[in-house]
Amino acid sequence: MDRLVAKYVGKMVEQRIADDGMPVLGCRDSDIVWSRKDPKITEILEDVFEHLNINSLLHCRPSEPYGSMIEYLAAHSDGAILPQDTETRTFLHDLPLAASFTVEEVVHNLKRRKIVILPGGEIVSFGTVSPQQAFIGFSSVCFACFVKFMSDRLQDSRTAKMDDLARRIMNDALKKTEISHAHEKTSNEGPYITQDEVHREMARVGKLTVMSGMVDSYFGNISYLMDDTLYISQTGSSLDELEGTIDPYRLDGSSCAGITASSELTAHLRILETTGKRAILHGHPKFSVIMSLDCSEEDCDGAGRCHLECPKTRTVGDVPIVAGEVGTGRYGLCNTVPEAMVNTGGVIVYGHGLFTVGSTDLDEPLNNLLDIERMCFEEFVKLTGY
């Protein structure tokens, strides 16, 4: 249990969403194992454990700029913060605000949501079976609030209503944003010819995707087609921990790998069929999501349904923005992304992230992901006058 606690505290620091020494993560075993003891925090959380059927609790104020963004959004929200990104819509729903850090306030909110935001921008999240769930909740709040805060500033820039504090937080965030193209190239660039090589390259590029800040929590997926088998990350897997979580899906449907494969398996299959490519990478880079949410239309008949269908043709540069939801329904990504991908290396899905493709190896979709995210960052900078 100590090792698990240390692992997820380490992930928070490595992914730059928490400062070293700040997280208080507790996991219930025979006793509660704490990452560190802080009586002002742990005494309250120990009482929270007694009121909920949970395995773990996490308390932390995120590192900057997340902490200031969350504190600002909380001060300008009534009862809950309401981000519009897909992760929040499907996973968190809304981000409730507690009036104070008390057992009663925390328990009340955690009975109906996976997280609660405390005064001062601190977050409490929980896991029912593993501290991984507490980490995912915390990371998802950081992502959602970054996207929400920056999306609001984009709207402010159109009306010249941005206040001094919001501009300072935004400018500090932009200074801290580093979108790096520097990653090691494989000496065997593909096409890959063995299953071991496919697994090794998927794990390597998955780690680079996380290290580059192109995906948060356990979101995102990756696949590679070799012969008649699509190797794809399992649903719920972490891109930086893909060893043992890659499924071989035979194109003739003769395997049962589709049961545990990524929920976007159908979208991957149709993208490959439509484009003739071999490799797909799906990440949630922040500025790609932010720019997908940006719209200057007023009184639009489709307002509130943008994630399902949009009557407008929208792009960032030459990269299409499409609507679509996870799954195979009427509004499924499998029906919107493949056609838009035919003449481009990437497609942005409204509020959801970015799909990119490659012809022979996985470095190509990773480079496409980084290039498009950089373009979205530069477009945001231009529009906000930073």
Each residue of 187-231: pLDDT tens digit?
568 899 999 999 999 999 999 999 888 987 668 999 999 999 999
Residue 79 φ/ψ region, left for φ over 0, alpha for ψ in the -120 to 50 degree band, beta for the rest: left
Q: Can you give the pLDDT at residue 254?
A: 72
In the structure encoding, which two tokens stand for residue 361, read together? 């190896």
Residue-range definition of the domain harbouring residue 150: 2-176
* 16 shares its domain with 49: yes
User: Is the residue at 67 inside a domain?
Assistant: yes
| Residues 249 and 375 placed together within one structural domain of the fold | yes
> What token pair was written down for 157?
């820039």
Whether 345 and 277 have beta carbons less than 8 Å apart is answered as no
Assigned domain for 190 exists: no
Query: How far is residue 65 from each of residues 15, 70, 122, 383, measured CA to CA in Å?
Result: 13, 9, 13, 20
Q: Specify whether 16 is located in the same domain as 158.
A: yes
* Model pLDDT, residue 88: 80
CB 255 within 8 A of CB 232: no
- 212 and 164 in a common domain: no
Q: Are 33 and 2 in contact (CB under 8 A)?
A: yes
Are residue 123 and residue 242 in the same domain, yes or no? no
Does a structural domain hold residue 104? yes
Spatial distance between the Cα atoms of 272 and 280, rounded to a whole number of angstroms: 8
- Give the total number of structural domains in the chain: 2
pLDDT number for residue 257: 64
Q: Are residues 126 and 200 in the same domain?
A: no
Is 48 found in the same domain as 145?
Answer: yes
- The domain that holds 370 is classified in CATH as 3.40.225.10
**What's the CA gap between 243 and 200, in Å, rounded?**
8
State whether 231 and 313 are in the same domain. yes
In this structure, the strands spanning 346-349 and 95-96 are unpaired
Single-letter amino acid code for the residue at 127: G
Considering the domain boundaries, does residue 187 fall inside one?
no
Characterize the bridge pairing of strands 346-349 and 319-322. parallel
Confidence of residue 253 (pLDDT cuts 50, 70, 90): confident
Q: Using one digit for the tens of pLDDT, what is the confidence trace for 305-345? A: 666 677 677 899 999 999 888 777 788 888 999 999 998 99
Instruction: State the sign of the Cα–Cα–Cα–Cα dihedral 325, 328, 331, 337.
Output: positive
Residue 183 resides in a domain: no
SS3 of 158, please?
Answer: helix
Interhelix angle for 131-159 vs 66-75, to 10°? 70
What is the structure's pLDDT at 259?
Answer: 66
Residue 304 pLDDT greater than 70, yes or no: no
Same domain, 172 and 207: no
For 117, the 3-state DSSP assignment is: strand
| 143 membership: H or E segment, kind and range | helix 131-159
143 part of a folded domain: yes
Round the average pLDDT of the chain to a whole number and report it. 90
Are 131 and 271 part of one and the same domain? no
Q: Quick one: 127 and 246 in the same domain?
A: no
Does the pLDDT at position 72 exceed 90? yes
